């Protein structure tokens, strides 16, 4: 079954405590990205990756890091979380054909609360 998995699904942490949210896809997709979803603001892209070792900033990259050492994995790292990073996070992956993004699959989401 084609899927994107994220872990953990729910996380409560405190300001400044480094955390990593993992994302993995089993579809051999080149393109992966991270979004955060906040009420009234919709989905905003944090970082994206076109392929292994190729990452770039999205619209709201401040306070986040990513890495793409393997095609299937794209972890999101919060080095020093702050309360304004409390949000619902989605990982997504898709294949690309000549720059045209095919079906994009989203993970189930990670709900993060930073106290």
Binding-residue pattern over the window 88 to 107 for another protein, x denoting contact by CB under 8 A: --x-x-------xx-xxxxx
Give residue for tokens 């051999």.
28
The answer to whether 61 contacts another protein (rule: CB under 8 A) is: no
Q: Kindly report the CA angle at 87 between 83 and 88, in degrees rounded to 5? A: 160
CA 18/CA 61 separation, integer angstroms: 16
Binding-residue pattern over the window 67 to 86 for another protein, x denoting contact by CB under 8 A: --------------------
CA 90/CA 36 separation, integer angstroms: 6
- The site for another protein (CB under 8 A) is made up of 4, 33, 35, 40-45, 58-59, 90, 92, 100-101, 103-109
């Amino acid at each position: 079954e084609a899927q994107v998995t994220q872990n953990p699904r729910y996380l409560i942490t405190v300001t400044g405590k480094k955390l990593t949210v993992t994302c993995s896809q089993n579809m051999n997709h080149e393109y992966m990205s991270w979004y955060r979803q906040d009420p009234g603001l919709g989905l905003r892209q944090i970082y994206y990756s076109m392929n292994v070792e190729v990452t770039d900033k999205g619209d709201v990259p401040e306070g986040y890091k990513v890495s793409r050492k393997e095609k299937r994995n794209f972890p999101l790292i919060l080095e020093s979380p702050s309360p304004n990073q409390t949000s619902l996070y989605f990982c997504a992956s898709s294949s690309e054909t000549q720059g045209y993004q095919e079906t994009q699959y989203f993970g189930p989401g990670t709900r993060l609360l930073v106290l």
